[in-house]
Structure 1
Amino acid sequence: MDAVWPVADVLAHLAGRWRVRRDVRDLAGGDEGRFEGITVFGALPGGGLLHEESGTFTWQGVARPATRTLRFLPGRVPGTADVRFADGRPFHELDLTSGRYVADHPCAADLYRGEFTVRDADHWHTLWRVAGPAKDLVLATEYVRDGAGQRVEG
């Protein structure tokens, strides 16, 4: 089990710029891909953070630009977050007070189960397992605070 680092306030912890590497495996077909880029958590008017991810996703040898936007709003419990898609639909809650959190998100007949682990002030990791009739994927993402002086190892 990885070491965990408790976070008193998830929004304060995530604010800023992070380097990202995401490995994607299709368990059904055996294909593998990788996203490399930057995620910026910037302040939202009225509270919370706008998560803007941009970079390059390479799948089956083809590299393409990729972006994703989420909203991290203050959660029901102080120090937690209510994560939403860009259009406002609910995604999952996030509570890192123990340094680790598991979230579920049903998407049609598939289930996304994400495990979030904070390793220290400058490193955190997510592992999403997507299972169902349409998808059978594993997405492992490493985040390193930009300027932390360390590179994401590949």
Structure 2
Amino acid sequence: MGEFWPVPDVLAFLAGRWRVRRSVRDRASGHDGRFTGTTEFRPLDGGGLLHVESGTFVWRGVARPAERTLRFLPGSAPGTADVRFADGRFFHGLDLSTGRHVAGHPCAADLYRGEFTALDAGRRRTVWRVGGPAKDLVLTTDYDRED
């Protein structure tokens, strides 16, 4: 993937509903999993977007419902966002003005390194590489706009 699609306003770009397909590879155990579902970015009072993801996660042949909620708030620079967990803790920044952004997030002794790419107006991808004493994972998520 060498072509990125510049996004002048990440919140405007994300707003709406997306189909989600995620692969999860545990490099330590060799196990693979997958998530399929939807992500919706809804307006928040006071600005920003509420990110609500729900679907089914299949791990080692067992399917379970899965969901998560994040808040995408206006960032310090125009067109950027601060991504926060549902409880308000900072997760990472997001700036897709070049079509690509790399972010890191420490979680206990593990480090999450995310690469975010906009492919066009209706497609984007996120790849998280998680490494440390507890985890050795690669999570690749493809998003396709529904609306």
**TM-score, length of structure 2 as denominator length:** 0.99
Query: Do the aligned partners of 1:2 and 1:119 also contact (CA within 8 Å) in 2?
Result: no
Name the structure 2 match of 1:87. Answer: 87
Query: Who is 1:17 aligned against?
Result: 17
Cross-structure match for 1:132: 132
Residue of structure 1 in register with 2:53 after alignment: 53
Map residues 36-51 of structure 1 onto 2, 5 A cutoff: 36-51=36-51
Measure the CA separation in 1 of the matches of 2:49 and 2:135.
Answer: 29
Superimposed CA distance per residue, residues 45-87 of structure 1 (whole angstroms, 9 cap, x where no aligned partner): 0000000000000000000000010000000001000000000
Q: Which runs of 4+ in 1 moved over 2 A?
A: none
Q: Is the 8 A contact 1:48 1:74 kept in 2?
A: yes
Letter in 1 for 2:139: L
Q: CA RMSD in A?
A: 0.6
SS at match of 1:13: helix
TM-score between the two structures when normalised by the length of structure 1? 0.94
Question: Distance in 2 between the 1:136 and 1:50 partners?
Answer: 29
Partners of 2:34 and 2:3 in 1: CA distance: 25
5+ residue gaps in structure 1?
148-154
Partner residue in 2 for 1:151: none
Distance in 1 of aligned mates of 2:47 and 2:2:
31
Unpaired runs of 5+ residues, structure 2, are none
Q: Map 1:67-146 to 2 at 5 A.
A: 67-146=67-146
> Identity of aligned pairs, percent?
72
d(CA) in 1 for partners of 2:66, 2:108: 23
Q: In the TM superposition, what is the alpha-carbon distance from 1:2 to its structure 2 partner?
A: 2.7
Q: Shift of the alpha carbon at 1:94?
A: 0.1
**Could you tell me how far apart the structure 1 residues matched to 2:61 and 2:25 are?**
14
Following superposition, the deviation at residue 3 of structure 1 comes to 1.1
- Is the aligned partner of 1:62 residue 2:62? yes
